[in-house]
Structure 1
Amino acid sequence: MDKRYLALSLPEQLDLRRQAIEDVLAHPEWPLREAIRHLKRTMRLTSAEIAKLAGVSTRTVQDIEQGRSEGTVQTMNRILGILGLRLGVVRVSPPGF
């Protein structure tokens, strides 16, 4: 947990996790970098902690957060997988079908 914050109990940590999930799901218009930044802030984690949990490099997380990289689908699924989320692709029918 980010040392700028006081330690939280397990129930408090779970509440933050639930809130982070709900916020991301409620805002599908957010770019991926905004979703990652929000998850990090809400769950009070550092980039290094998110990276370790996701099994990716800290640099990868920082690059996505700062807009230097969009990240691959696999990388995003690793990061979102921390919360049991998965990046998806859906078919959009052209207008008139």
Structure 2
Amino acid sequence: MDKRYKALSVPEQLALRLQAIEEVLVNPEWTLQQSVRHLKRTLRLTSAELARLASVSTKTIQDIEQGRSEGTVQTLNRILGVLGLKLGVVRASPSED
């Protein structure tokens, strides 16, 4: 956990995880960059910690956050997998065309 924050109890950590899941699910329009930043902030993780949890390099997380990389489907699935989520495909509504 990012040392800028005080340590959280297990119930508090679970509550943050549930909050992060809910917010990602209700914002499907978020880019990978926005999603990664949100996950890091909500879960109070450093880039290195998120990278380790997602089994990607710290540079990959940093590149995505700073807009230098769009990432890949595999990368997104690894990052979302930290929360037990997976990238999916849905039919766009007519208003999104």
Q: TM-score, normalised to structure 2's length?
A: 0.91
Residue in 1 that maps onto 2:69 = 69
2:17 corresponding residue in structure 1? 17
Q: Name the SS for the 2:24 alignment partner.
A: helix
1:6-85 residue pairs with structure 2 within 5 A? 6-85=6-85
Letter in 2 for 1:35: S
Listed as ranges, the gaps of 5+ residues in structure 2 are: none
- Tell me if 1:86 matches 2:78: no
C-alpha displacement of 1:67: 0.8
Provide closer, same or farther for how the CA distance between residues 88 and 12 of structure 1 changes in structure 2, counting only shifts above 3 A. Answer: same
Residue 31 of structure 1 aligns with an amino acid whose one-letter code is T
**Per-residue CA distance 1:18-67 (angstroms, 9 max, x = gap):** 00010111111111110110010000000100000011000000111111
Q: 2:90 aligns to what SS in structure 1?
A: coil
Structure with bigger gyration radius: 1
- What is the identity, as a one-letter code, of the residue corresponding to 2:66? Q
Identity %: 77
Q: How many residues align?
A: 95
TM-score norm. by structure 1 comes to 0.91
Instruction: Provide structure 1 residue ranges, at least 5 long, that are not aligned to the other structure.
Output: none
